[in-house]
Structure 1
């Protein structure tokens, strides 16, 4: 096949017609799609297109959450929602100030995206297992492994965001769709673990990034399984998986993963699929799309969301001023070597007479640099705002280093000089020239906050560690309620689903 996977992914990214009875809503089947399912998957090309459709929801944007990190940033203590006013992107505002309810909030987007992914994976796995003429045994095994990884990935998002969710591993029909009931999280986690173990056994260790960048590898599956174990506090299991991914701290792992020497290079759009990237979600300017393609953009629209509003000056194009950075994070990062690669200090540019910008809602003057709308990389065709080429790295090596260090400490191992937990933590620090420190949970979480700032991890870290009530209480977070999102109102109508008690 002459097309690279990345371009093919882009070309078929919105091809929902090949996904059978799944639509963008879990409880809203598409009869036309059901007819298509009966006649599709008749040759290897259609099988590959079907696999692309299972990948597709990973990169969904332009609804309410700007997956995978926009709304999550707004919900954390490192950002406020921002934008043009208190009703601009109300779903973000409601999560940021914790006034969300079952009708208003980002939950519908997360629910739709991930259950669409689950449904597509279920259909695809069944079709491939039944047999597709001309598809080799090797490709069959790899395709199923990729689909199982993706099903595990989508269920992981669902169970940690909603806790009690409907669960199914077979394609749903119009007859049984509304009969689904919620299950205990343990049931979902068990299936995620099995899917990822199955995937690990059949996935390739690496892929050629020039032609297959963005496809799932064995290392990505092991890294995700490690995270799944962390969320269940299976510390020894988590550390074992991460050790396979991480290898010798500071060195090159068996999968070729290695920390980049220059922290700023991690986020450059001209440095995609580098040695630190484990799971990277593809965005591209190749589509050259305009506003008529709303919901089907290939570019990273979060880039323009995060840029300073009405900006004129060097380095950046104007954006929409969402997720401005809090004074607290600014103060924490100000003298850290990663500051300039993390925070765009637009107020300083204005104070120096180099720039001007419109002060958006809850403006702080500090914006996200890692995904900023840089003039250097702006699209030259199509609508610029919709075609920024920044990929989103959802899992990278510094993340898994720090999670392994955490798992080792939680399992009772020491964190002093010479221990693996110490070496992992300080490999991340050494990369940016910081001196070594003892590996304690406090030090590890502080390092995660600074190293991974603005990348969408902070809210999850606060919730899973029990720190959320203290860190987010000033924003309105209520313990025992806001650790999860409400079940979307539309999903409760004419179904057997039950709302979480705290949201009733």
Structure 2
């Protein structure tokens, strides 16, 4: 998918005469400007693709802006990592240790990424100059994107402003955080209005990555799940989540990939399990000057195995970020090895493959002996049109997999007014696949057996599954925040000592606090959640 990368320039010429200054007014040199652009289906479609573009940004404002990294490194699943000095990527070290501030560049990167997405979506949604059936569908897609960007910003920054139109400078100075209910009402309205106008069938082939009705229903279910969880476990909202997630299940369009190990294998994209997946490509040459113009998934190199031997048969060495913790490694039960080995690799396992590790390259304060391999730095990655190969490796980022839909549905049933027995059936689907492909999949403990053997209740069993199923995919931090499970006991003593319950979310960048004269607050106040 090609994304618009254009700069529109208007030139004002100043001519100084021998007697006095004269200002010569000239017409803009460009003939296509934002004010007169969206006049055809093709132009509206190009604008829509531009609204998808920020989904790809993994590097912005001179900082890494990957939700996968944030969701793992901020949590008990992973440490920041990097070089041995502990000074590599100081912003991520600070995020890891709960020491980040409003001056941390990563806050600016996430803030810019989200609001650029909202801005571009609003350009499509609020354009009334041209209409057709196709354009109405484009607007529905843009509403999905606007909802997703607001939801992502909420997960990162807490309650944020609600922007339903393009905000000009004078209005920006007066922006304030909305309440939790205001944010979620806006998001759910956008999705509910988009769903009837989106195509029934998921997109495939060259159009994979565009959203369909079931994509929006899945996101709507996830949004209601968060809303319910953060509204004193409101059973009516959990029921709403279950309704929309059930629509995805009964559509019959998705199924679990038989082999869990294939989900993140080299070159695997947009499988039958993919409900919403951010697309990346290696076709567009990239260098460090481009930042937002880079279409590769840059965390592949960043989070690859540091100090790896050069003759490993599959992987190249990486830069060693997003290091799984002992806590995550130990989370996998003895009969969950198949899923663990698709997510994490240990020093011992690499050395058993005949590949020694240079331990002198590791960040010893963050390194527990493991690396993530869902975004493995495969040797087979190429940059066919030139550019920096480190920036152009192209694994997609799954945002919602069918396994997520099944586990969210089970949770919504259990926490709403649904049936516990039905909830267990959907957890069992995920557990059966986790045991391995083919005949192995029949050799698994049912959810009921798991609960009896491990002393879990059903909700704890679901949470066990979520952490194991989505390890190193970026959901962990957001899961424990929404369910109010962020507590000192999850972290090392040093990290726990920095944990401030009032600073769970990332702070809004200081620049934007200053630009609004303080009307945007660094952290959300408690009253916004009531």
Which TM-score band applies after superposition, normalised by the shorter structure? 0.7 to 0.9
* Bigger mean CA offset, 355-364 vs 385-394: 355-364
Runs of at least 5 residues in structure 1 that lack an aligned partner in the other structure: 1-5, 19-30, 248-253
Distance 1:74 1:286 in 2: 29
Aligned in 2, Cα 1:49/1:197: closer, same or farther, shift over 3 Å?
Answer: same
Q: 1:463 aligns with which of 481, 485, 501?
A: 481
Match of 2:424 in 1: 422
Structure 1 contact 82–363 (Cα < 8 Å) conserved: yes
Residues 457 and 422 of structure 1, relative CA distance in 2, 3 Å threshold: same
Q: 1:186 to 1:96 in 2, by over 3 A?
A: same
> SS of 1:172's equivalent?
coil
How has the CA–CA distance of structure 1 residues 205 and 301 changed in structure 2, closer, same or farther, with 3 Å as cutoff?
same
Does residue 309 (structure 1) correspond to residue 306 (structure 2)? The answer is yes
Cα distance in 2 for partners of 1:144, 1:404 equals 28
- In the superposition, relative to structure 1, how do residues 32 and 202 fare at CA in structure 2: closer, same or farther (>3 Å)? farther
* Cα pair 1:222 1:242 within 8 Å, conserved: yes
SS at match of 1:422: helix
Equivalent residue, structure 2, for 1:80: 79
Mind listing any 5+ residue stretches in structure 2 that lack a counterpart? 10-27, 229-236, 436-443, 449-456
Q: Please tell me the root mean square deviation across aligned C-alpha atoms, in Å.
A: 2.5
Residues 9-158 of structure 1: pairs in structure 2 closer than 5 A: 9=3, 12=4, 14-15=5-6, 36-63=33-60, 64-84=63-83, 85-104=85-104, 106-127=106-127, 130-132=128-130, 137-158=132-153
Deviation of residue 348 (structure 1)?
3.0
* TM-score computed with the length of structure 2 as normaliser: 0.83
1:333 maps to 2:332: yes
Partner of 1:212: 207
Aligned to 2:453: none
TM-score normalised by length of structure 1: 0.87
From 359, 366, 369, give the equivalent of 2:370: 366
- Deviations 1:160-203 (Å, cap 9, x if unpaired)? 32223222212112332212222212112111111000111110
Instruction: Specify which of 280, 286, 289 is matched with residue 286 of structure 2.
Output: 289
Cross-structure match for 2:458:
440
**Alpha-carbon separation, structure 2, partners of 1:52 and 1:97:** 37
Q: Which residue of 2 aligns with 1:500?
A: 523
1:226–1:239 Cα contact (<8 Å) kept: yes
Query: What number of residue pairs does the alignment pair up?
Result: 468
Where do 1:155-166 residues align within 5 Å? 155-166=150-161
Moved more, 332-341 or 224-233: 332-341
Match of 2:238 in 1: 235
- Gap change, CA 1:293 and 1:171, over 3 Å in 2: closer
Distance 1:494 1:244 in 2: 43
Structure showing greater radius of gyration is 2
Matched, 1:180 2:175: yes
Residues 428 and 178 of structure 1: CA distance in aligned 2, closer, same or farther (over 3 Å): same
